[in-house]
Amino acid sequence: MLKRFFLLTLVFFSISGFSQKKISVIYTGNMGVYISNGQSSVLIDGLHAKYGDDYLFPSDSLVDKIYKELQPDAILFTHSHGDHFNPLLSKNYLTSNKKAVLFGPSQVTEKITSLNDRLFTVATKDYNKQTIPFKDFKITGVKINHAGKRHISIENIGYIIDFGTKKILHVGDTNWMQEINLFTKLKLINEDIDIAILPYWMLLENNANNLIKEHINAKQIIATHISPRIKKQELLHIKKRYPDIHFLTTLEQQIQL
């Protein structure tokens, strides 16, 4: 009887521990993040090269770590800009990791010659969500307009990664774009998002808290794409304004949620 009790207790704590397993996020510069639940993983906007002094990019050692140690199951790209996506680094990763796949808009996937059976192109003709089950999780891609009028032709994709126990949203280089009711069209409020990864400038709107609550309502927010040249006082001011938000500013910075 005592043995049975201990066995049941062990099973309970094993199930409880699995269900409460945390999500690990590692920063790779700009909006680049490696996301893992301990069993499966994705890298979003994580393979890019030097783009300018206002941008962080993964060092050679970090790229090597991605290839050989982190080994994400899927590499996802929101758009084709060089601070988010590098074709050579991406193709090299797929070549060295035969089971990995790549997701992106056509402006990304068209730059990866060959390997077509491992490329998934997310359509951008409308705001319909496109979900593809992969391994033991799901990847949903959806058009989310790129911020800035000069980038109107850039295809930008948002992703929802559903690990079963938690959902993570990554929006790429967008803004609230209330003039076109962008986030009303996206209906992300219905997705039950646990963690939202946003470019920090989305927090600069005076009513950003209300917009996040109304359109995303994530339990946790991660702010990215913070220039390494941002003034220390400016960053401190933003952090003070949002004490519950996680700010990624240093390469390989890691948080667990």
What pLDDT score does 2 carry?
Answer: 44
Share of the chain above pLDDT 70, in %: 92
Q: Can you give the pTM of this predicted structure?
A: 0.91
Predicted local confidence at residue 20, as pLDDT: 54
What average pLDDT does range 129-155 have in this prediction? 96
Report whether pLDDT(4) > 90. Answer: no
Range of lowest pLDDT (17-21, 132-136, 177-181, 229-233): 17-21
Residue 10: predicted pLDDT: 43
User: What's the whole-number mean pLDDT along residues 162-168?
Assistant: 97
Fold of 22-256: Metallo-beta-lactamase; Chain A (3.60.15)
**Span 213-239, pLDDT tens digits:** 999 999 999 999 999 999 999 999 999
SS3 assignment for the chain: CHHHHHHHHHHHHHHHHHHCCCCEEEEEECCEEEEECCCCEEEECCCCCCCCCCCCCCCHHHHHHHHHHHCCCEEECCCCCCCCCCHHHHHHHHHHCCCCEEEECHHHHCCCCCCHHHEEECCCCCCCCEEEEECCEEEEEEECCCCCHHHCCCCCEEEEEECCCCEEEECCCCCCCHHHCHHHHHCHHHHCCCEEEEEHHHHCCCCHHHHHHHHCCCCEEEEECCCCCCCHHHHHHHHHHCCCCEECCCCCCEEEC
pLDDT(11) > 60 = no
